[in-house]
Amino acid sequence: MVVWITGASSGLGLATAQALREAGHTVVAGARSFRAETGTDGIHRLPLDVTDEASVTAFAEAARAVSPRVDALVQCAGILVLGPCEETSPEEYRRVMDTDFLGMVRMNRAVLPLMRGQGSGKIVMFSSINGLLGIPCQSAYTAAKHAIEGYAECLQMEARRFGIQVCLVEPGDHRSGSQHTRHHAEAVTPESPYWADYQSATGVIHRDETHGSDPAKLGRKVARVLARKRMPVRLRIAKPDQHLAVYLHDLLPPGLNGWILRKYYYGKS
C-alpha cells in the first residue's frame, strides 16, 4: 500500500509514519521541515506546507514520482494555540484553522481525483477528543477539530460511491508534545483577568499530555485500521477516563458537564 502522510516530522504524525513503514507500506511523508530525501528508515520525505496551495500541488506531483498510486492519505498536520477566547486574536484562530482544518481540505482536493480514478482509496483524518467536547483555553484547536468532524461526515457520504473510505481518528492525550507546533495567545499576560485560570488550565493540559498514552501504540493502531477491508468511520484512541468524558458530555445536562470540566481544569466551580 502506498500511503501519503502529513505532519510527519514529530508527534503522532511521526509515530504513525514509522508504524506504517514497519507494517511494510510505501510511506511518502510530508512536513514543512523536510527536504526531498529517502531516509535510512525507508520513508520518502518531501517538503509540504499544508497552508500553501502550491506546496500541496508540488508534494502531490513529487509523491506520484515515487509511485503513481496513492492507496491512503493520513492527515496529521496540526498546530495549537492556547489562550482564553477573549484574548485569542482572529489571526490566531485563522492560523489554527488554516493548518488544522483547511490544510486537510487542500490535501483531500489534491488526492480525491486520483482515488476516484483508481476506484479506491482510504482517507484518515486526525481529529481529537476536542473534536467532541470543548475545554478551557483551547478554543481555536477545539473549533478546528469540530470543523473536521462535520466535514468528514460529509466527505464520507460523498466519496463512498467512488470506493473511497473515510476514517476519523480521535486521539486523547498522548506523549507527543512538539513545542514548535504549540503556541500561546500573544495577548495573555500576568495582567490578564484570565491569568490565574489560564495558568491552572494549561498546567492541567501539560500534566495530562506528559502522562498520556504511547504515540507508538497509536501509530500501530492506525496501521492496523488501514489494513482492514472496511475502516470504521470513527476510531477513538484514548484512556478510559477520556472515553468517559465524551460519554458524560453527551449524556449530562450542559450546565452540569460544564461544572465538572471547570472543576477539573480550574479546581473550582
Read off the pLDDT of residues 96-115 as tens digits, 9 standing for 90 and up: 999 999 999 999 999 999 99
For residue 143, is pLDDT > 90? yes
pLDDT value at 13 more than 60: yes
Point out the residues that are catalytic.
Answer: 9, 127, 141, 145
This prediction has a pTM of: 0.93
Angle at 10 between CA 148 and CA 83, to 5 degrees: 55
**Amino acid identity, residue 14?**
L
Is domain 2-241 in CATH 3.90.76.10, yes or no?
A: no
The single-letter code of the amino acid at 141 is: Y
What value does the mean pLDDT take over residues 64-93? 96
pLDDT band at 178 (very low <50, low <70, confident <90, very high): low
Which position has the higher pLDDT, 93 or 173? 93
Q: What share of the chain is helix, strand, coil (3-state, %, to 5)?
A: 50, 20, 30
pLDDT band at 70 (very low <50, low <70, confident <90, very high): very high
The predicted-structure confidence for 190-209, as pLDDT tens digits, reads as follows: 999 999 999 999 999 989 98
pLDDT score, position 84 = 96
39 pLDDT tier (thresholds 50, 70, 90): confident
Q: Where are the domains of the chain?
A: 2-241
How far, in Å, are 60, 62, 108, 176, 181 from residue 205 at the CA level?
Answer: 35, 38, 31, 13, 15
All residues at 6 or more sequence positions from 120 whose CB lies less than 8 Å from its CB, including other chains: 71, 163, 164
Q: What is the pLDDT of residue 265?
A: 94
Percentage, residues of the chain above pLDDT 90: 88
Give the pLDDT confidence of 204-246 residue by residue, as tens digits: 998 998 888 899 999 999 999 999 999 999 999 999 999 999 9
